[in-house]
Amino acid sequence: MSDIARRIDAANDEALRRMLSGEPVLVDVIPAAEAIPTLKDRMILHAGPPVEWADMCGPMRGAVAGIAVFEGWAPDLESAARLAGEGAFDFRPNHHFDAVGPMTGMTTIGQPVMVVENRAFGNRAYCTINEGLGKVMRFGGNDAEVLDRLRWLRDDFGPAMGRALRAGDGIPLKSLVARGLTMGDEMHQRNVGCTGLMLRALSPAMAETARDLTALSKALAFIGGNDQFFLNIAMVMGKAIMDPVRGIEASTIVTAMSRNGTEFGIRVSGTGDAWFTAPVEMPEGLYFPGFTEADANPDMGDSTIVETIGLGGFAMGAAPAVAGFVGAGNASEAANFTRAMAEITLGQNPEWTIPALDYQGVPSGIDIRRVVETGLAPTINTGIAHREPGIGQVGAGVVRAPLACFQEALKAFAKTQGVA
Amino acid sequence: MSDIARRIDAANDEALRRMLSGEPVLVDVIPAAEAIPTLKDRMILHAGPPVEWADMCGPMRGAVAGIAVFEGWAPDLESAARLAGEGAFDFRPNHHFDAVGPMTGMTTIGQPVMVVENRAFGNRAYCTINEGLGKVMRFGGNDAEVLDRLRWLRDDFGPAMGRALRAGDGIPLKSLVARGLTMGDEMHQRNVGCTGLMLRALSPAMAETARDLTALSKALAFIGGNDQFFLNIAMVMGKAIMDPVRGIEASTIVTAMSRNGTEFGIRVSGTGDAWFTAPVEMPEGLYFPGFTEADANPDMGDSTIVETIGLGGFAMGAAPAVAGFVGAGNASEAANFTRAMAEITLGQNPEWTIPALDYQGVPSGIDIRRVVETGLAPTINTGIAHREPGIGQVGAGVVRAPLACFQEALKAFAKTQGVA
């Protein structure tokens, strides 16, 4: 084995060790401005690698207009869009601020964010609260109903969830996700099990710290009515797990995969904070009644952090029921996706196992070398937004990360090792 | 085809139609004395077919002594046992009173019972609330901790759950169980998914109708802390589904399977209310640390109503994670149990399907003819109680219903059809 290969193996061992030894704990919900001091007025964090207004897709523009109205930076959606075009807002990726966001991924000062602390490494990560299904801002929704819900999350639900979490020592997520994998969740398009487990863990303290019973009832109904409530928690957990894996010299492990609706980007441990991007692909999936693929926006969101840690499409074998929902073929063949992803990853997660595969661990640690060698791009389970602003979710599907990102990353990585 | 065979087929079609068209809804929690007017003072309903004190196993005797103290019929456990031996209590099977109970299955006037209404047929069924895991009365526990918990269920939790249910139109169980089957539950030894779904459905109304936040918090923590909370709901649902299937002339479908810890008994639609019994078998399973099969009581409880409706051991293919817990072999082979049970049942349940088996319905409607012909006895997933009173659960396992029950039932059935 060459010196370089040995160096890479040692670096990847360390990367996988850090990844698998993370101890993510959901500890708080606080205003984004407090959680992220570098997040300023009129700054809008979005999903994916950097993107400016001119290149943003429809739902991303819809969400930007909506969040500007929500924050009081514009009186209405039209003015907000005009202001955005004039450069009034500072657009930055969530990933540059220890944060992630689903689909359009809007994070701004006035929103509450959930805080996950990685107790093995001391870092924290942030994500907004999942808004529920249908017409919501993450899918580009921006009407009064959407903004009213965001206000309720800011003024009522977020503070209530924060009080409950601060009353205890936080909710450890690693064991909760391990149980979710025995309950048919893959933590991207299916979070039914983990949402119930989270409610079981959270509701006693929510009652203990509630200010009135009607508000509490509404908060419990909000969690109870949203099968995807846990998605944003899985995402912020993923960010908290992967951030300590960044910047390991000579490691070829992927530390983030993310899409802004226009471009797909990845980051690799050994190449630091650089993004390697390519145009996003179109998911292949199933559409809600009344919609077709002609309505679909290409792939979008920071939620691919879930695949980055071995869940989502990588854990399809744990979630046969999701296969039909995302149009991935027969439920009984869901495990094939998990088996394929084992070919591009460094190992298995011994704490996140799949009963139906006799407790095989989820494939963990995407190695850009193996992706390029095999031509097997990561499988991603995803929601699908309407391509126009203001409409919302139209379906769910499976999409592949573009191979070009991994090829570009491998070239840049080779340079760091003195290889042409 | 003979006239008799045609008559039996038609009767079984009707039996399966009734079974699959049940609409069980959890509607209330009320005192047993109110739910079951024929349940009198000093009457003790127990699991399984009829059994008297002299023939009761250790944990059943322990539970009897405990419930007598709880009801104030005896000052202490010793006196209670003495009184039982002197004939002071009237022992009757739960099944004779529209009720079921897990393991020892104690039902008495002072306990709260959950009420499930079968809206397709108008009948109601009753079951006590699951006490949680470990040292509990259903496994023969009877000390102060056990009795205090029963008092709290009577005075606090039961009324709170009843208020919440009465505030709405009840919680439909058929669709909830359908979701549970996509979440790795088989509803006998694994109810993790359904317990979360039930909390999601119940907690908003529990908050709405709560009297104080501390009591509410304790109630939510009780549900949240008990993975088997849903078991008793699955059981009472099963009783409500199967009762309208009773008494169909010429039907060979099993309407109840139940064990009192001494005998296993079945009832068959075409033979009315007769019990066909045989000595209970010993489960083969896994034991908690510190216990072995030498500590185990034989098979016990009304919970086999769950297998009678196609869940539990019959739905093992939906619950690979339970296979290890009950010692049923490799998780990846759990579906073999479901496939085997299809050989002794009349059909599949189109509303209760198993994703990993490409949405095959759970095997439904046990036909005593097929059991006798194939020699394949129903597979049952079960908890295992300590054989001595007062100790509690020591493990979980798989057990077969004794074939002799089915052979006896078939002989009696043949007589009803004029066959020797």
pLDDT of residue A134: 80
What band does B325 get if pLDDT is binned at 50, 70 and 90?
Answer: confident
The residues near A174 (Cβ < 8 Å, ≥ 6 apart) are: A22, A23, A24, A351, A352
The pLDDT score that the predictor gives to residue B60 is 97
Note whether B193 contacts A183, CB cutoff 8 Å. Answer: yes
The yes-or-no verdict on residue A326 having pLDDT over 90 is: no
Convert the pLDDT of each residue in A167-217 to its tens digit.
999 999 999 999 999 999 999 999 999 999 999 999 999 999 999 999 999
A4 Cβ under 8 Å from any chain B Cβ: no
> Can you tell me the distance from the alpha carbon of B141 to that of B384, in angstroms, rounded to the nearest whole number?
13
Contacts of B225 in chain A (CB under 8 A): 200
- Residue A420 confidence (pLDDT) above 80: no
Per-chain mean pLDDT for chain B: 96
| pLDDT > 90? residue B135 | no
Instruction: Give the residue from chain A lying closest to B183, CA to CA.
Output: A183
Average pLDDT score over residue span A257-265: 98
Q: For chain B, which residues make up each domain, given as ranges?
A: 22-235, 246-416
pLDDT beyond 90 at A126: yes
Q: What is the pLDDT of residue A179?
A: 98
Q: Pick the residue with more confidence: B351 or A1? A: B351
> pLDDT by residue (tens digit) across A28-86?
999 999 999 999 999 999 999 999 999 999 999 999 999 999 999 999 999 999 999 99
Question: CB-CB: which of B182, B184, B331 is closest to A359?
Answer: B331
Chain B residues within 8 A of A225 when measuring between CB atoms: 200
A&B contacts, CB < 8 Å: 122
**pLDDT in the model for residue B144:** 96
Does the structure's ipTM exceed the value 0.85? yes
Q: Is the per-residue pLDDT at B327 higher than 90?
A: no
pLDDT of B420 over the 90 cut: no
Q: How close does chain B come to A298, measured CA to CA in Å?
A: 29
% pLDDT > 70, chain B = 100
Asked if residue A277 has pLDDT above 80, the reply is yes
Separation between Cα atoms, residue B414 and residue A375, nearest integer Å: 66
Higher model confidence: residue A327 or residue B217?
Answer: B217
Cβ-Cβ contacts under 8 Å, B207 against chain A: 207, 210, 213, 216-217, 220
Please enumerate in sequence order all residues whose Cβ is within 8 A of that of A240, keeping only pairs 6 or more positions apart, or say none.
A22, A24, A116, A117, A118, A123, A124, A125
Interface residue B357 vs chain A (CB under 8 A): yes
CB-based contacts of A105: which residues, under 8 Å, 6+ apart?
Answer: A45, A46, A47, A48, A94, A138, A301, A302
pLDDT tens digits, A93-124: 999 999 999 999 999 999 999 999 999 999 99
What average pLDDT score do residues B187-209 get?
Answer: 98
What secondary structure does DSSP assign to B119-164, as a single string?
A: TTTTEEEEEEPP--SSS-GGGT--SHHHHHHHHHIIIIIHHHHHHH
Q: CATH class for domain A247-416?
A: alpha beta
pLDDT digits (tens, 9 = 90+) for B89-110: 999 999 999 999 999 999 999 9
**φ, ψ of residue A110 in degrees (nearest 5):** -85, -10
Query: Which residues numbered 14-73 in A keep a CB inside 8 Å of some CB on B?
Result: none
Q: Using a CB-CB distance cutoff of 8 angstroms, which residues of chain B are in contact with residue A223? A: 200
Q: Does B178 contact A at CB distance below 8 Å?
A: no
Q: A360 to chain B, minimum CA–CA distance in Å?
A: 11
Which amino acid, residue B273?
D
Of 3.40.50.1100, 1.10.3720.10, 3.90.1700.10, 3.30.465.10, which CATH number belongs to B246-416?
3.90.1700.10
Instruction: Classify domain A23-235 at the CATH topology level.
Output: Enterococcus faecalis V583 fold (3.90.1710)
Contact B332 A356 (CB under 8 A): yes
Bridge partners (DSSP) listed for residue A171: A26
Sequence length of chain B is 420
Element (DSSP H or E) covering residue A169: none
For B79, the 3-state DSSP assignment is helix
How high is the pLDDT of residue A327? 85
Taking the Cβ of residue A212 and every Cβ of chain B, the question of whether any pair is shorter than 8 Å is answered with no
What is the band of B133 on the pLDDT scale with cuts at 50, 70, 90? confident
Length of chain A: 420
Task: For B54-95, write each residue's pLDDT tens digit.
Answer: 999 999 999 999 999 999 999 999 999 999 999 999 999 999
Supply the pLDDT for residue B326: 86
Percent of chain A clearing pLDDT 70 (strictly above): 100
Q: What is the DSSP letter of A230?
A: T
Residue indicated by tokens 């209590």: B89
Distance CA A118, CA A369 (A): 28
Give A177's contacts in chain B (Cβ within 8 Å): none
Of chain A, the percentage scoring pLDDT greater than 90 comes to 95
Question: Which of A203, A224, A358 is facing B224, going by the closest CB pair?
Answer: A203
Give the nearest partner residue to A192 out of B183, B207, B214, using CB atoms: B183
B32-to-B26, B97, B108, B117, B129 alpha-carbon distances in Å: 15, 11, 7, 15, 11
Q: Is the pLDDT of residue A402 over 90?
A: yes
- Residue range B142-184, pLDDT digits in tens: 999 999 999 999 999 999 999 999 999 999 999 999 999 999 9
Within an 8 Å CB–CB cutoff, is residue B113 touching chain A? no
CB contact under 8 A, A224 and B208: no
Q: Is the pLDDT of residue A324 over 90?
A: no
For domain B22-235, the CATH superfamily is Enterococcus faecalis V583 domain (3.90.1710.10)
Flag whether pLDDT at A230 surpasses 90: yes
